[in-house]
Amino acid sequence: MSDTSLDVFTGADGRDWDTGPDGIVRMAVVGLGNYARKVSLPAIAESDYCVPSVVVSGTEQRRIETAREYDAVGVTYAEYADGTATDEYDAVYVATPNREHLPHVETAAEHGKAVVCEKPLEATADRARQAVEACENAGVTLMTAYRMQTDPLVRRLREFVREGGIGEPIRLFGNFSFDVLGGSKGPDQWRLDEHLAGGGALMDVGVYPLNTARFLLDADPVSVWGTTRTSGPFGDVDEHVDFGVEFPDAVGNFSASFSGHSNAELSMLGTDGQVALRDAFGVGADRTLVVETDDGTVELEGFGSDETVEEFDYFAHCLLTDSPPEPDGRDGLVDVETAMAVYRAAEQGSRVGID
């Protein structure tokens, strides 16, 4: 393998988008669940271009304690909807259960605030579309919180693939599995509520290999097929999902699970080689990339940036430079539409096309 083909990975922890703008974006964090408190808020506080200034929660003690920890203003959901403290924030991060994204995105749009919304964008395609249209009609930025699109190593991998590092992509394989019942919440959590979540493993973690594959290929699905399985503790949501995605020039086979051994991997086969990304989707994981071509095999280790910090800095950078984010609302909508098509395919036992 020539050294030139791997030059793209030099400095793979660096930012290829950062122009060093002046300014700070003050963020209102809507929803103070475990992920927001343990992952997102620390990342916002650590970032270069944004700071948490308002926190929104319906739980009084959590709201007060979090506001004190970050020297922020704490407000209730009703106060947020009514416009309380709008002078204290420039943009909104929505981190509530999936079906509650829409009203909070609409509120931000009504107040003229840009939004970064957790994935999936909503629990149904219709509601995701409403969120997108609300922001477009208000003329505010909507970014879907796909942190993998801002991970420096994943961005370098996309560049490598685009430059023909493995020839023409043919097939992709990906999986993301974790024990959702292994934490303190057990079965009493919104991820296992079909109404709030919109689905199970596919909606929560299956969107990671799906969206990352779309990002690497710069392509959208044209058809899907799939199957789901579940057992007692998981109620009506999918415990396991296996699904295929046909792209215009490649095919992806992906899976996701809410039980079993934790795993996160993504690989791509091309006409002239293949790449495999290990620990692909974990928060702040040290990722390993294996590149194989006829010239040999190279393993790149030790690449691990806090991609959540990257995500919020990227969002703030877009606002400060008046540039659109790549993982915008339409990007998030495509994944929700694709997930809904996978569920239809699993129910019908046949391939489903995507317009």
The whole-number pLDDT of residue 3 equals 45
Whole-angstrom distance, CA of residue 72 vs CA of residue 346: 45
**Confidence label for 184 from pLDDT (cuts 50, 70 and 90):** low
> Is the pLDDT score of 2 beyond 50?
no
Q: How do residues 257-281 score in pLDDT, each as one tens digit?
A: 999 999 999 999 999 999 999 999 9
| CB-CB contact of 143 with 318 (8 Å) | yes
The whole-number pLDDT of residue 188 equals 86
Whole-angstrom distance, CA of residue 351 vs CA of residue 341: 9
Q: How do residues 114-161 score in pLDDT, each as one tens digit?
A: 999 999 999 999 999 999 999 999 999 999 999 999 999 999 999 999
Domain boundaries, the chain: 20-146, 148-353
Q: How do residues 289-339 score in pLDDT, each as one tens digit?
A: 999 988 889 998 877 679 999 999 999 999 999 999 999 999 999 999 999
- Alpha-helical (H) ranges within 172-276 are 194-197, 201, 207-217
Contact partners, residue 329, CB within 8 Å, separation at least 6: 117, 121, 128, 131, 132, 135, 136, 142, 143, 144
The whole-number pLDDT of residue 140 equals 98
| CB-CB contact of 52 with 66 (8 Å) | no
Q: How do residues 9-18 score in pLDDT, each as one tens digit?
A: 876 778 999 9
Write out the two tokens for 261. Answer: 């051994």
Order of strands, sheet of 91-94, starting from the edge strand that comes earlier in the sequence: 73-75, 50-56, 25-30, 91-94, 114-117, 142-144
> Is the pLDDT score of 21 beyond 70?
yes
| CB-CB contact of 105 with 94 (8 Å) | yes
Task: Provide the mean pLDDT of the chain.
Answer: 95
CATH assignment of 148-353, among 3.30.360.10, 3.40.50.10860, 3.60.70.12, 3.20.20.140: 3.30.360.10
**Confidence label for 55 from pLDDT (cuts 50, 70 and 90):** very high
**Average pLDDT estimate for 25-47:** 98
- Map tokens 């994935």 to a residue: 119
The whole-number pLDDT of residue 4 equals 46
Whole-angstrom distance, CA of residue 323 vs CA of residue 333: 20
**Average pLDDT estimate for 35-54:** 98
The whole-number pLDDT of residue 304 equals 64
Beta strand segments in 126-239, E? 142-144, 169-177, 223-229
Closest CA to 319 of 30, 66, 116, 75: 116
The whole-number pLDDT of residue 14 equals 84
Report domain 20-146's class. Answer: alpha beta
**Average pLDDT estimate for 17-32:** 98
Q: Is the peptide bond before 120 cis (omega within 30 degrees of 0)?
A: yes
- Alpha-helical (H) ranges within 202-328 are 207-217, 307-320
Helix (H, G, I), strand (E, B), or coil: what is residue 347? helix
Q: What pTM value is reported for the model?
A: 0.96
CA angle in degrees (0–180, nearest 5) for 321-106-33: 90
Q: How do residues 186-237 score in pLDDT, each as one tens digit?
A: 788 999 999 999 999 999 999 999 999 999 999 999 999 999 999 989 989 9
The one-character DSSP state at 205 is I
| CB-CB contact of 56 with 32 (8 Å) | yes
